[in-house]
Amino acid sequence: MDEALKLKEILRRLGLSIKHMNTLDEFLRAKEPEYQRMEAKLDSMGEDYVRFCRELYYGGDKDMGNEPRGSRQMILSDIFQYILTGRMIYQASKSDDLRKRFVRISMYLVNEWLIMDCFGPKESLAKRRGLMSKLSTEIGEDFHEGGASYHREKFDETLEYSDDLIPKPPNPNPPSSAILSSYDSLFPKIRGGPIELLIYLYLIQRRLGFVVSLLIQQILLSGRSEVIPPDLFLLRKKGEIMGLEIGRGKEKQSADFGLLTGIPTFSVDLVDRQPFRCDGCGRWIIYCERVIEKYSEDGIPENHEHILHCIDCPYFHDGGCPDIIYYGERMNRYGGERSARYHFRCLSLEERSQILRNIELERESLVAYFPLVDGLEEFPEE
């Protein structure tokens, strides 16, 4: 893969912007009296100013615990989404070909986002502990800024935990919510963040209206009033505006927004509640190369068909593709029979051989998924 498609290159260039701003700041603080006067004003605000600065990084649990509460998970997610929907989208607007490249790059980045949370299974305990220790060491005292004693305690408890850090289902004995929250706070929000980006990609590929991303705009202000907006707006012809809230369970929030603004708002999610966690290895199942290839080049599949049958794929390689999904009833990692999604590679050699010997009968079991949005297949295009 080209160096420019790697997340490292994105982060390097983000670092260059920060370095550029630091250089401007250092020079002006040293050379410009009026700038120094404004710096003194900010410094005089003390904790009030620090509170605002914490919106860019604040160490601690994602949303629970002693005051002041940490919010690192949401901050990291907002920054990740801003890179794509706030800046890289400018390239996508220049031509149809660049829009296709934007979709492809975004899908690869969604996969990397899902892979970040790959150390939950106990088999990855050494890597999990290595990552936690490295983050704590590299970031230093700011890593536990949000309620230091509480978050240090939960972090240390999570560091010592030696079993699966996977919520139920399918885990019959998951760790406490405090431990899971402490672990989740290490990453930009996974699974919600990738879902938000995938729904955004879906919308910009259909003529449903102009898409306005509010994914990083968590609150809107009007004088002394405030309202929580939906994740996305669709601006349609004749002045019609619709709000889309990603995920279920926020119906009251959507109703309140609609009552205050008169903008109809409804919830959307990915078909079959994607993405999926493999019941075999406990890792997230990423999107395969063929899905990314066809989705970026051809857009929404005909008839809104969201399933790709792997035996028809040129990358099937007699079952050797690492991203084949097996959907059926098998023994999961906890010893229970469960109908779920599994990496084909996570099945036993005997199970895989049996399936491949009867490949035509297993056509509906070996699948990959396009990240289409549930309920919008009949929504009228403009």
pLDDT tens figures, 103-120: 999 999 999 999 999 999
Which residues have a Cβ under 8 Å from the Cβ of 341 and sit 6 or more positions away? 276, 277, 278, 279, 285, 325, 326, 327
Query: 41 to each of 46, 52, 376, 381, how far by Cα in Å?
Result: 9, 15, 51, 52
For residue range 1-39, list pLDDT tens digits in order: 454 457 889 999 999 999 999 999 999 999 999 999 999
pLDDT of residue 218: 80
Q: How far, in Å, are 61, 233, 235, 260, 314 from residue 238 at the CA level?
A: 45, 15, 9, 21, 45
Q: Let me know: does 276 contact 284? Beta carbons within 8 Å.
A: yes
Cα 286 from Cα 200, distance rounded (Å)? 18
Average pLDDT over residues 347-356: 96
What does the DSSP 8-state code read for residue 290? H
pLDDT, one tens digit per residue, over 46-101 is 989 988 888 888 876 544 444 444 578 888 999 999 999 999 999 999 999 999 99
d(CA 355, CA 349): 10
pLDDT at 324: 98
pLDDT at 61: 58
pLDDT, greater one: 147 or 26: 26
Mean pLDDT (the chain, rounded): 91
Q: Is the backbone peptide bond immediately before 170 cis, with ω within 30 degrees of 0? A: yes
**Which pLDDT score, from 0 to 100, does residue 309 have?**
97
Contact partners, residue 96, CB within 8 Å, separation at least 6 = none
Tell me what pLDDT residue 146 has. Answer: 63
pLDDT at residue 357 in the model: 95
Q: Which residue has the tokens 């012809």?
A: 237
Residue 41 pLDDT more than 70? yes
% the chain with pLDDT above 70: 95
Which of 41-55, 134-148, 192-206, 237-251 has the weakest average pLDDT?
A: 134-148
DSSP secondary structure string for all residues of 110-167 = HHHHHHHT---SGGGHHHHHHHHHHHHHHHGGGGG-TTHHHHHHHHHHHHH--S---P
**What pLDDT score does 169 carry?**
83
- 294 or 72, which is more confident: 294
Are 205 and 300 spatial neighbours (Cβ–Cβ below 8 Å)?
A: yes
What is the reported pLDDT for 236? 93
Higher model confidence: residue 218 or residue 18?
Answer: 18
State the pLDDT at residue 148: 61
Residue in this structure with the two tokens 């009007």, named with its chain if needed: 222
Q: Residue 69 is encoded by which pair of tokens?
A: 């509460």
Q: Is 349:185 a contact under the CB 8 Å cutoff?
A: no
The one-character DSSP state at 286 is P
Q: What tokens appear for 146 in the block? A: 């949000």
Q: Which residues contact 39 (CB under 8 A, 6 or more apart)?
A: 29
Band (153; pLDDT cuts 50, 70, 90): confident
Give the alpha-carbon dihedral of 155, 159, 161, 165, to 10 degrees: 80
pLDDT confidence of residue 216: 84
- Structure confidence at residue 70 (pLDDT): 52
Task: Please give the angle made by the CA atoms of 95, 101 and 105, to the nearest 5 degrees.
Answer: 145
**What band does 224 get if pLDDT is binned at 50, 70 and 90?**
confident
Distances in Å between the Cα of 222 and the Cα atoms of 41, 161, 219, 228, 261 are: 27, 46, 10, 12, 11
